[in-house]
Structure 1
């Protein structure tokens, strides 16, 4: 039992409190315990504030990722190397080219544009053309002076492009054209350097052509006739 006033343990009901001298009726231990515990003030627990989401962090992270992707594309493009080795005294050139898979690069460029939110309908097409070499060659058949063309690849062209393919063999050698449309077409090519008038060029005959050019111009003329052009 406990003293009702100060809570000191009392051994007998008739015994006053040895501590404060209170002689009132002592209380049972269970009642005091319940009362004492109920008198206690509740403990306030403060839950720490959770960190708020900061959109600036995500924006900075997105910019860093975009910069990294663009830098990667630049490195890949710069690793495309073209090496030309010339044999001394032979007058011929052996060309060895190391090129990166162009389709892989084009797909990668599309992914970068998606991350950056760039309109892929215009910018990506321009990039793909530059990667594939279409903006640099400016030829129908860039190598028509160094290999024999196949009939199938010629027949696959439009009537207009077949005509250009035949005449670019002449244009590469510096021939001018009496047809204004053809002359304007080749004037726009960066590689075209006119040297001969139509009369001067024709006077040279077939001697001006190498074996590939002679074969290819005759093959293209033959296919034009067969197709009714």
Structure 2
């Protein structure tokens, strides 16, 4: 076996040591890159977390400050008009969403449930009022007729003028929700009258209904009533 010269052994030793130094340098360099990446990720996460926290705070404050505005926008998204399709023609009503919001909400809810489909006008008092409903309250009619005799002496206000839409009862029982349309100014003395709309089209239809023949108890001799109600945002 050939003997390796000392000079050759020295060269081989230097080569091994050089390769070891390159390997350590590479490891250190890679470790540095990994460390920088980790630091970058940590910094980015902290920045994102702080930005999100500030954004949620601003959003919360904004929502809190704009609660009333959101409520108002929902209120004004409600239909502002109702078209009563009657057996004599159409009557367009402007609803008082601001003045009578609770009654208007109840009216709109009943419209969506079809409460007014087929509702008859069960009493027609000429030069005074047209009454409609699924139930007939004879006591209420006596009250209406007794006040009619003296309505000229009792005070009136713009909300109780002619061609206004109102109701006499607000109860959980939907059958108790009746409608009336005035055909002349009516007195303010009855605090159970709730006006929530006015006729803006179809006054001639109201007057035609007012002219139907009635018996001595103000009941129409021929059926007349509401076929259905169409709600509209604009007209």
TM over 0.5: no
Q: Which has the higher strand share?
A: 2
TM-score range, shorter chain: 0.3 to 0.5
Q: Whose RCO is larger (CA < 8 A, sep 6+)? A: 2
TM value normalised by structure 2: 0.35
Q: Which has the higher helix share?
A: 1
Structure with bigger gyration radius: 1
TM value normalised by structure 1: 0.35
